């Protein structure tokens, strides 16, 4: 926990090489923040609140490295408030109450406000979040909660109603490059080395960071430390060696998980094999369970392709079985085959729509008894009651269809639940059904 006024750096000082570059480069003022101009640029609602000393409780929602902690610090500094920081990951409500009670006393004795910054606030449960409500309502603290999760799901409604939510976007490549060059020019450790950064190297760092300023600065620091003695230019090759492997912004239990899997499924559904294979590769690189991805492909094969290409379900299930047998890394090969097959297959959700329509009929309409001619008649009594009478065996009919025998209860006579599309194999299904329906109508 930190509790300070004005200071934006914890641990080592701005020129202490033991302090990470990302921490050394935290801006000291609102004007020094790069990349969130839509949120705190001149004339914005939040900027006016800061400039006019009307800071209110708020929720900052954005991906890692987008500047949530930095914004909280500079806002407290700009409004001359005491800044107290807690993490929901490492502290409980007991520590939070102690900080809030100290804020109450500070406000009573000195008239000084406290900005209480709660990192990862969504990790507190409902009861824990309830503890903040009275302090926020009385104005004892200005609560700034930071979350990487959608506040609608992770933060209780009473707290959301008392705090405004602001969305931070991942930093653009332009913003990240500006942050990198400022670090080389202004950091007390790097600036004396007069290092150069060519455009290709800066772009590569920005690409690896995926909108995360902390990640970009960390990679810059590693690249600078790896420069051979006597060299001063950070090139694309130097950065590539420093990066070694890429880390994606993907929380398997959070919104990134749902966003990326959603993009994958929608790309398959929209018959875009290039997008589908890209998103699948993203999921795998982020450590997603391959069997989860395969289950989603099996579902899509039945729901979105269906009888337009019945082989799609076979391909998806075969890929699932193949992966279970061979595992990683070779198991990704049948996954890729299934991904491409599903993306390029003709699409139809007619089977799924038929299921939904039948479910609605079952749920909302009277459950009529099974017609007598369709009932099983294993005993003489049942046969004497008419069970099975007038049943027509389809294989005995010339068309293979007993056209004058209805298989629905009388109230549903003529009801159509399944309407095939004119795509893929369903063209043939549609023609057969049309011929059989015409035969029934004729007889």
* Confidence class for position 5, pLDDT limits 50, 70, 90: very low
Is residue 97 within 8 Å of 133, Cβ to Cβ? no
pLDDT of residue 11: 32
Name the CATH topology of 350-442: post-AAA+ oligomerization domain-like (1.10.3710)
300 or 4: which leads in pLDDT: 300
User: How is residue 181 annotated by DSSP?
Assistant: H
Is residue 282 within 8 Å of 250, Cβ to Cβ? yes
Note the maximum CA span of the chain: 103
Q: Which two tokens stand for residue 374?
A: 């369709």
Please, what's the b/e burial string for 53-86 (b: 16 or more CB within 10 A of its CB; e: otherwise)? eebebbbbbbbbbbbbbbbbbbbbbbbebbbbbb
Q: How far, in Å, CA of 234 to CA of 257, rounded?
A: 34
Provide mean pLDDT across the span 252-268.
77
For 19-28, 246-255, 388-397, which range has the lowest pLDDT when averaged over its residues?
Answer: 246-255
Q: What is the pLDDT of residues 54-92, one digit of tens each?
A: 999 999 998 888 999 999 999 999 999 999 999 988 888
Torsion sign, CA atoms 103, 105, 111, 112: negative
Residue 114 has φ and ψ, to the nearest 5°, of: -125, 130
Provide mean pLDDT across the span 129-151.
92
Is residue 68 within 8 Å of 60, Cβ to Cβ? yes
Q: What is the pLDDT of residues 29-63, one digit of tens each?
A: 999 999 999 999 999 999 999 999 999 999 999 88
- pLDDT of 3 > 60? The answer is no
Torsion sign, CA atoms 286, 289, 294, 296: negative
Q: How far, in Å, CA of 256 to CA of 240, rounded?
A: 25
SS3 182: helix
SS3 58: strand
Query: Which run of H or E residues covers position 2?
Result: strand 2-5
Query: Which run of H or E residues covers position 5?
Result: strand 2-5
Q: Which two tokens stand for residue 198?
A: 């060519």
The full length of the chain comes to: 443
- pLDDT of 339 > 50? The answer is yes
Residue 85 has φ and ψ, to the nearest 5°, of: -125, 135
Q: Is 19 exposed, middle or buried (0-12, 13-18, 19+ CB in 10 A)?
A: middle
Range with top average pLDDT, 89-98, 112-121, 430-439: 112-121
Please, what's the b/e burial string for 418-436 (b: 16 or more CB within 10 A of its CB; e: otherwise)? eebbebbbbeebbeeeeee
SS3 380: helix
Angle at 3 between CA 101 and CA 142, to 5 degrees: 60
Is residue 310 within 8 Å of 429, Cβ to Cβ? no
Q: How far, in Å, CA of 356 to CA of 68, rounded?
A: 44
Name the CATH topology of 173-243: Helicase, Ruva Protein; domain 3 (1.10.8)
Taking alpha carbons only, the member of 168, 88, 167 closest to residue 131 is 88
pLDDT of residue 240: 87
Q: How far, in Å, CA of 85 to CA of 99, rounded?
A: 9
Q: What is the pLDDT of residues 159-173, one digit of tens each?
A: 999 999 999 988 999
pLDDT of residue 7: 31
Is residue 63 within 8 Å of 35, Cβ to Cβ? no
Provide mean pLDDT across the span 320-343.
92
CATH for 255-344, options being 3.90.78.10, 1.10.760.10, 3.40.50.2300, 1.20.272.10: 1.20.272.10
State percent of the chain over pLDDT 70: 93
SS3 159: helix
pLDDT of residue 372: 85
Q: Is the peptide bond before 329 cis (omega within 30 degrees of 0)?
A: yes
Q: How far, in Å, CA of 314 to CA of 320, rounded?
A: 10
Cβ neighbours of residue 133 closer than 8 Å, sequence gap 6 or more: 158, 159, 162
Q: Which two tokens stand for residue 149?
A: 């999760």
Does domain 2-167 bear CATH number 3.30.379.10? Answer: no
What average pLDDT is seen over the chain?
87
Torsion sign, CA atoms 379, 385, 387, 388: positive
Q: How far, in Å, CA of 426 to CA of 417, rounded?
A: 15
Provide mean pLDDT across the span 8-16.
40
pLDDT of residue 288: 83
Q: What is the pLDDT of residues 341-389, one digit of tens each?
A: 999 999 999 999 999 988 888 888 888 888 888 888 888 888 888 888 8
Quickly count: other Cβ atoms within 10 Å of residue 363's Cβ.
8
Residue-range domain boundaries for the chain:
2-167, 173-243, 255-344, 350-442
SS3 76: helix
Q: Which two tokens stand for residue 269?
A: 């559904």
């Amino acid at each position: 926990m930190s509790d300070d006024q004005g200071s934006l750096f914890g641990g080592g000082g701005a020129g202490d090489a033991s302090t990470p570059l990302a921490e050394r480069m935290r801006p000291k003022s609102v004007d020094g923040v790069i990349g969130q101009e839509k949120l705190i640029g001149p004339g914005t609602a939040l900027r006016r609140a800061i400039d006019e000393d009307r800071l209110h409780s708020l929720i900052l929602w954005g991906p890692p490295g987008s500047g949530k902690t930095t914004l909280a610090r500079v806002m407290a500094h700009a409004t001359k408030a005491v800044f107290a920081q807690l993490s929901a990951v490492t502290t409980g409500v007991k520590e939070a109450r102690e900080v809030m009670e100290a804020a109450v006393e500070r406000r009573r004795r000195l008239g000084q406000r406290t900005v209480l910054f709660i990192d990862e606030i969504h990790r507190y449960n409902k009861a824990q979040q309830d503890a903040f409500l009275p302090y926020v309502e009385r104005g004892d603290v200005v609560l700034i909660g930071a979350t990487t999760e959608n506040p609608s799901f992770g933060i209780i409604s009473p707290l959301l109603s008392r705090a405004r939510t602001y969305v931070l976007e991942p930093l653009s490549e332009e913003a990240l490059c500006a942050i990198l060059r400022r670090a080389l020019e202004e950091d007390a450790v790097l600036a004396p080395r007069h290092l150069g950064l060519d455009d290709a190297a800066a772009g590569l760092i920005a690409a690896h960071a995926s909108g995360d300023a902390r990640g970009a600065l960390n990679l810059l620091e590693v690249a600078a430390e790896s420069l051979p003695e006597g060299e001063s230019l950070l090139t694309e090759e130097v950065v590539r060696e420093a990066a070694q492997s890429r880390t994606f912004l993907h929380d398997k239990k959070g919104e990134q998980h749902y966003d990326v899997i959603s993009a994958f499924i929608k790309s398959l559904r929209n018959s875009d094999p290039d997008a589908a294979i890209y998103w699948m590769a993203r999921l795998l690189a982020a450590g997603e369970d391959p069997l989860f991805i395969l289950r989603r492909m099996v579902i899509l094969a039945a729901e979105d392709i269906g009888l337009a290409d019945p082989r799609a379900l076979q391909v998806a299930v075969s890929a699932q079985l193949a992966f279970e047998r061979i595992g990683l890394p070779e198991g990704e090969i049948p996954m890729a085959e299934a991904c491409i097959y599903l993306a390029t297959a003709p699409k139809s959700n007619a089977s799924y729509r038929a299921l939904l329509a039948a479910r609605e009929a079952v749920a909302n309409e009277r459950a009529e008894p099974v017609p007598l001619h369709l009932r099983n008649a294993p005993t003489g009594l049942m046969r004497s009651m008419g069970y099975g009478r007038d049943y027509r065996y389809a294989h005995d009919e010339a068309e293979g269809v007993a056209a004058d025998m209805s298989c629905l209860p009388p109230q549903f006579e003529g009801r159509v639940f399944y309407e095939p599309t004119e795509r893929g194999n369903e063209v043939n299904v549609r023609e057969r059904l049309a011929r059989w329906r015409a035969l029934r109508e004729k007889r």
